[in-house]
Amino acid sequence: MIPDRLWAFYLESPGLSLLILGNIVFVAGAFALAAAALVLRIRNDRKAAHWALLERRWEAKAVEVITELERPEAIWALVDRPDALRFLNFLLRFARRLTGAERKRVDELAAPYLDRILPQLKARSAERRARAIQTLTTLGSRRYAAQVLTSLDDRSPLVAMVAARSLARRESPDFAEPILRRLERFEHWRPSFLASMLASIGPAVAPALRAALVDARYQPRVRSVAADALRELNDYLSADAAALVLAEATDRDLLIATLALIGHVGRADQVEMVRRHTEAAEPIVRSRAMSALGRIGSAADGERLVRGLDDPSPWVALRAAEALHEARHPALAAIAASDHPRAPLARQILAGGSA
Amino acid sequence: MIWDLVYQTTLRLLDVFNVVVLTYFVVLNIGYFITGLFAFYSLRKYVGRLRSLDIEDLLGSAGMPPITLVAPAFNEEPTCVESARSLLTLKYGDFEVLFVNDGSKDGTLNRMIESFDLVPTFRLPTGQIGTKPIREIYRSRSHPKLWVIDKENGGKADTLNAGLNYCRTPLFCGMDADSLLEREALTRIVRPFVEDARTVAAGGIIRIVNGCTVNEGTVSNVKLPDELVPRFQVLEYLRAFLAGRMGWHEMEATLIISGAFGVFRRDLVVEVGGYATDTVGEDMELVVRLHRHCRERKIPYTIGFVPDPVAWTECPTTLKVLGRQRDRWQRGLIETLWRHRVMLFNPRYGRVGMVAYPYFVFLEMLAPVVEVFGYFTFFVALALGRVSPIFATAFLGVAIGLGIGLSFTAVALEEIGFRRYPKRSDLYRLIGLAIAENLGYRQMTTWWRLRGTFNVLKKTKSWGRMERKGFGPTAPPSTATPPANGPAAG
């Protein structure tokens, strides 16, 4: 009998037997996986064809509804109950192509289906929760603001970020403060990205950002983000706050962001704060101070900027040359025509070759 | 009498060696299997994440860090213009292209000058990494984002370093001039840097362009190559990237970022001295050095792999060229692992030192040696009648059966994640290739890697010739013959 022989073999070489058995199981599993890949492909192809057909129908009808040739009911009639989430995904993509009144019509089309997404806000998968928030905020106007605000405290930073970005895009000052308060949650996100997110709320966010910039209770990183956002907003009212920070800040990133801010929105009477930092120990701080000086400095700063060309850091020299160019200082042309070691750099900047 | 004793001892050693090899194969495949499991988990998570944060949204957002693409080129006349055009049409907010000509002997520079209206200009270097002399710097009048640095030949690492010296952005992308990046590749690969400011490097996936249709620098129709040698490589790349690197990424122990497409933090790479010019595996060496640097200085960092930003690259079409490539890859691997051997089983380097490094030393570096000698002794033992049919089944099952299983896993991962080969017939072919590659092809690659191992001992530094056909059907064929240390996909 074969089982008896197998058993005898097992008793004789148990290690080898288990290995062969494991191998057989693994290879069988692998073949099953290959079969699954095939089945998956066939199923996905069918599904894709079905969705493509469905979306073509929806798109044709959506265009008619949006151009008011048809009433919304005409497209809703084409959406079967199991296809509701798919329909919302379709509208999400469709909405991106539209603005103004047409865009609002898309929100109207989505309205009857949005409540069905709410259970997904409690899904185990962070990705599903994030997707739900994105859909609700994009298609749901302010109707779901409360749920999205709650998601700012979601245990997953990804979900919290999607919520923050979605709220920021609503361009409402009401959301500025809640986002700013939770900015420390996004400690690993790139500051420039966070600043752009905050700036996307619009000028209404500026007072909260100004307050954060000067508030030493916030981490320097948050204050740097606030400074970057204010710069993106070209908020001239933040010049005094920036000068105040430059007078006392020691954190490198905060100094860099604030120098960039004051370079954009500062006034001539604040230039002394900037001059101090042209002598900073860190090359990156000196380089930012040079840039700021080129923007808000006076003719008297020309000599300082020319000295910057000799800075051992190429970054400082580069920014000093750009600053001279920005200040339309005649020294740059003179250096370009001379045998100064930085003459090629001066010529590059004069020719508009700055990166 | 004495000969009989020697004979008996040899036979016993043969038996022991066969068992050792069998055990090694089992451990090796368990290692691959575990990596595959991590890859599966990671890929599913990533695909879900892609659905929650759509790329269009990111494309439209400000605050994405500026990037410099450093494209080293050596004798790339057939592909350089199309590659540069492809780079210039990338969908990304703020980037510039530094095309670095590594003293090409063909018409690479002239074609670039003619095609992009290049004029000599000055550009201030911001780094001081030692490189071969720069001959001239050009800027395009028709495409202001494009700069061409012409330098004396010094090899790929030297060329990348030259580009790095002129890089002014916080991030740079190291790549091959003959690779085609997908339009959204930069946006996708930069995500780890946006989501986690501790990210110091991220690698994208390399796919094989042979067989695909390329229109104006974009891969428009993805299909498997017609020739068998490139086809096998498609499968190998899927396995290496989707089952391998994805798994290591999940374990936070990525040791390799392909030289054909990786993004790095410029300041940190400059701080560690740029790419090493005395190894043919400069891409892996840099990543390992970054790990070491950050760990030793307790700098918080992450190095990862992103599976959807794609760089398409041309792969060798002949066994001869492929053999040279694999030989070089093995030499690069050994040189890097030997150089940083202090990391092996060193808890100071965390998972990298305790898991990834031993894996690469014992299961990647030594694999060709064990495998080739394993086959040899197995067949000797078989000839001497020392192997039972059961043992032979187990041996071949482990050596071949598990290999097939791992390739199936890679195909399944591709199917779950990306489905880049839309024709169903290509999927059938991939499954067929997963079986066929074990019957000759895999053994050949093992042999080339063994040759690479011996070449390290002989201190061979040659890069080998890489034949390029160009992307378009009308492009003229050419043969790139890098001298001492020329550029090629790593």
- What is the predicted pLDDT for the residue at B254? 95
pLDDT over 90 (residue B255): yes
Tell me the pLDDT of chain B averaged across its residues.
87
Count: domains in chain A: 2
- What is the predicted pLDDT for the residue at B470? 63
- What is the predicted pLDDT for the residue at A172? 73
The token pair at B464 is 């080998």
Confidence of residue B379 (pLDDT cuts 50, 70, 90): confident
Q: Which of B34, B408, B430 best tests the A interface by mutation, with the highest count of A CBs <10 A?
A: B408
Query: Which comes out higher in pLDDT, residue B395 or B260?
Result: B260
Confidence of residue B454 (pLDDT cuts 50, 70, 90): very high
pLDDT over 80 (residue B130): yes
- What is the predicted pLDDT for the residue at B466? 60
- Mean pLDDT within B93-113: 94
Confidence of residue A2 (pLDDT cuts 50, 70, 90): low
Query: Which comes out higher in pLDDT, residue B110 or B390?
Result: B110
State pLDDT tens for residues A280-311. 999 999 999 999 999 998 888 888 999 999 99
**CB under 8 Å to B204, separation ≥6 — which residues?**
B185, B188, B189, B258, B261, B262, B263, B305, B306, B308, B309, B310, B311
Q: Is residue A199 part of a domain?
A: no
CB contact under 8 A, B126 and A318: yes
Query: Which comes out higher in pLDDT, residue B306 or B28?
Result: B306
Q: Which chain B residues are closer than 8 Å to A16 by Cβ?
A: 390-391, 394
- Give the chain A residue whose CA is nearest to the CA of B61: A196
Query: Which comes out higher in pLDDT, residue B116 or B33?
Result: B116
pLDDT over 60 (residue A62): yes
**CB under 8 Å to A240, separation ≥6 — which residues?**
A270
Q: Domain boundary at A153, A170, A187, which?
A: A170
Domain that holds residue A85: 53-170
Tell me the pLDDT of chain A averaged across its residues.
88
Rounded distance, CA B100 to CA B163, Å? 6
Q: Which domains, ranges and CATH numbers included, belong to chain B?
A: 29-364+461-480 (3.90.550.10)
Query: Which comes out higher in pLDDT, residue B460 or A161?
Result: A161
pLDDT over 80 (residue B41): yes
Q: Domain boundary at A104, A138, A170, which?
A: A170
- Mean pLDDT within B321-330: 94
- What is the predicted pLDDT for the residue at B349? 96
**% of chain B with per-residue pLDDT over 90:** 58
**CB B60, CB B468: distance < 8 Å:** no
Q: Exposed, middle or buried by CB within 10 Å (0-12, 13-18, 19+), for A158?
A: middle
**Beta-sheet pairing, B302-313 with B199-208:** parallel
Q: Which chain B residues are closer than 8 Å to A190 by Cβ?
A: 63, 65, 193-195, 197
- What is the predicted pLDDT for the residue at B489? 32
CB contact under 8 A, B193 and A190: yes
- What is the predicted pLDDT for the residue at B57? 67
**Beta-sheet pairing, B261-265 with B199-208:** antiparallel
Residues A58 and A166 placed together within one structural domain of the fold: yes
Confidence of residue B55 (pLDDT cuts 50, 70, 90): low
Q: Is the ipTM of this complex over 0.85?
A: no
**CB B276, CB B282: distance < 8 Å:** yes
Confidence of residue A166 (pLDDT cuts 50, 70, 90): confident
pLDDT over 80 (residue B484): no
State pLDDT tens for residues B42-52. 998 888 878 77
CB contact under 8 A, A16 and B394: yes
Q: How many residues comprise chain B?
A: 490
- What is the predicted pLDDT for the residue at B429? 94
**Which ranges of B62-201 would DSSP assign to H, the alpha helix?**
80-88, 108-116, 156-165, 185-189, 191-195
- What is the predicted pLDDT for the residue at B258? 94
Sign of CA dihedral B10, B11, B12, B17: positive
**Beta-sheet pairing, B171-175 with B67-73:** parallel
- Mean pLDDT within B88-112: 93
Q: Exposed, middle or buried by CB within 10 Å (0-12, 13-18, 19+), for B6?
A: exposed
**CB under 8 Å to A93, separation ≥6 — which residues?**
none
**% of chain A with per-residue pLDDT over 70:** 98
- Mean pLDDT within B457-480: 57
- Give the chain B residue whose CA is nearest to the CA of A166: B57
Measured between alpha carbons, how far is residue A233 from residues A193, A197, A203, A226, A292 in Å? 14, 11, 6, 10, 17
pLDDT over 60 (residue B309): yes
CB contact under 8 A, A38 and B408: no
- What is the predicted pLDDT for the residue at B56? 64
Termini Cα distance of chain A: 82
Q: Which of A13, A26, A187, A349 best tests the B interface by mutation, with the highest count of B CBs <10 A?
A: A26
**CB under 8 Å to A55, separation ≥6 — which residues?**
A90
**CB B63, CB B193: distance < 8 Å:** no
Neighbours of A146 (CB within 10 A): 9
> Which residue reads 């330098």 in tokens?
B151
Q: Domain boundary at A149, A170, A191, which?
A: A170
Rounded distance, CA B238 to CA B245, Å? 10
Q: Is residue A335 part of a domain?
A: yes
Neighbours of B450 (CB within 10 A): 20
What's the one-letter identity of residue B167?
C
Confidence of residue B450 (pLDDT cuts 50, 70, 90): very high
- Rg over alpha carbons for chain B, rounded to the nearest Å, is 23
Query: Which comes out higher in pLDDT, residue A173 or A67?
Result: A67
Q: What CATH number should be reported for the domain holding residue A297? A: 1.25.10.10
Confidence of residue B115 (pLDDT cuts 50, 70, 90): very high
The token pair at A177 is 């403060």
Q: Which chain A residues are closer than 8 Å to B56 by Cβ?
A: 96
DSSP state of B297: T
Rounded distance, CA A298 to CA A318, Å? 19
Q: Is residue A62 part of a domain?
A: yes
Q: Is the CB of residue B434 less than 8 Å away from at least one CB of chain A? A: yes
Q: Is residue A245 part of a domain?
A: no
Q: Exposed, middle or buried by CB within 10 Å (0-12, 13-18, 19+), for A353?
A: middle
- What is the predicted pLDDT for the residue at B250? 94
State pLDDT tens for residues A199-254. 988 888 899 899 999 999 888 999 999 999 999 999 999 999 999 999 998 999 99
Rounded distance, CA B490 to CA B481, Å? 16
Q: Which chain A residues are closer than 8 Å to B434 by Cβ?
A: 34
b vs e for B464-473, b when ≥16 Cβ sit within 10 Å of the residue's Cβ? bbbebebbee
